[in-house]
A and B are shown apart, each in its own frame.
Chain A
Amino acid sequence: MNDEEYGPRILRPLDEEPDAPSRVDVAAAVVAGSRSRRRRRVAATAAAAAAGLAIASVPVVISQAGQTTPDAAGRPSASAKPSPSPKQQYDRTMDVAFPTSCTGEALPVPGGGQSHASALDPTGRYATYRTYVDGRQPIIWHDGTITKVGTPGDDDGLYSINSNGVAVGIVWKGTGPVAIAAEGAKSAQLPGGKGREARAINDHGVIVGGSFDEDAPLRWASRTSQPEKLPLPKGATRAMAYDIDTDGTIVGYVETGAAGAPSGADPAKPSPSAGGTPGAEGTKVRADGARGGRIAYVWPAKGPGRVLERPTAPGVTIDYYDARGISNGWVVGFAAAVGDDRATYGVRWDLNTGKAELLPGLEWSNGINQYGWIAGMTEDNHAALTDGKRVLRLPDVFAFDKQYGMNWAEAVSDDGRTLIGNVDDADRDGLQQAVVWRCS
């Protein structure tokens, strides 16, 4: 039996309608779409104003929300006050200027085709991406020289790389992922790596990640250590560790069950001494659990884990937020608001104060560096670097595809001079291309 006969036969039993009533809301699409279109018009005007510059550079204030005080309406989020932070744990001295212009170029793609960039190390000298010739081929880029890691696989990728050039990620083996670490052309399975994903590695070689089902966040003390499960607040049904700071602080998210979680004997209850938000956090887990929502979570190097402050702004109620990256005590994440158009925001926390700050102009907030600068995408779908006040739009590298075009930055180096990300290539029908930007 050939493919043409076997395919329809074997799949036919799946030929069925969705097993739940539709929740698609056409009116909401009109509302959200109109909003997005208005933003595009504004962005187009800004772009037109900047036209004539060889390199796009559009500094604009995007965030006032961070300066507003949470209202005291009795909502759980509003009751959580930033900690007095007796000691400034992280250095906030800034010794470099925010860049004003960048140039970009595609990362090399042996054999051609699509590519996708994932990670950059703090020095900006190492990056990881993958190509799509005969499968997913992970590649390590080091100062312009590339090394293929292993052979092409079904869904292999390197999600993080440190300043020593050690990367972590997954290879897809048969039924699921296997967590790996890679150095040079070679990769090796992490102990206990089957069915697990390695998401980040810091400069001390400590690795974090979790199970494929996202129900057990994990920490590997080294490439050769067995993983340990990170403690979860009671009632947590899902959780993942996304990133680890140089000092060992881990960030990610937890989700709690619909029945609500008891907080009295919570082993991971808030720690007022850890620079977070004391007092109401146990309650917050429970309150959020009632909605089954996602909450950003931090596991300090020492001491119990805690919930990160729920971001808020006038007229905005966030019911879903997580933490994706951390650098020097700056945490970047994502938040979704209650409302008809389900608006989404970038979020930044400063662990010195525990305060959350919404970044409304940022549709995606992916990577963060030691100064709290964020690599992401603006609402008009262009890659950008922002320090929370200024936004530097990164050049598109390839012509911006009007139908599917969306270019975004994934990561930024500690000095803010190197970024990696992905751009749509209009010449190839919107397929993605990994790029590196140099800024000054």
Chain B
Amino acid sequence: MSRRQFLAVMIGLAAIGGLVAANLTDDDASPAALPAATSADAAPTTSVAEATPTPPDPLAAAPPVLGTAGDLVGLDGWLQTDATQFSDFDGSVRVVQFWTFSCSNCKNTLENLRGLYDEFEPRGLEVIGVHAPEFSFEEDPVAIAQAAVELGVRWPIALDTDKTNFRSWQTGRRFWPRTFVLDREGNIRFDRIGEGAYDELNATVAYLIENDSDRSS
């Protein structure tokens, strides 16, 4: 590649970068112009419309069984619960989310999760945040507990410090965040990589809670 060709490529990339930067600026401005629908401690950086909790209408049909969930093993302990093992939550509809507190994409999912927790926890939903640290500064339980308070994470947190479960639950394809919904029998009924699909998540939980309400008490 000659220097002239290389410069042409770079100018092209710079032009694309300029367009993208302009797009970014617009995106950054739009949430500020919206009403205060988001909490101050976890304002989403993506579309507010996507991240704002929506009233969960249950699915019309049962969500498919995607597999059977494994156990949570080799944990360093639990925060914000008296539970000592994953089986203590058996029999409940569970949202299990793999996250880490410095991951901005994980933070972006928390507002919806808070809404889901507030709505359905009194009706038997358990939300379990499996904290799988990417970096060593995220391994300190005190820092995790402090971050949980700041981020409004009020549900139980399992400490998966060496990422044993992060890897065993996500064979080959490992991402932050990863959100599963388990029914009362421990079947996986929802599996989402990354942000988004909040309506589907909420509807799945609503379906599982409402269609098994006779077993939740």
Partners in one complex: no
Residues of B within 8 A of A (CB): none
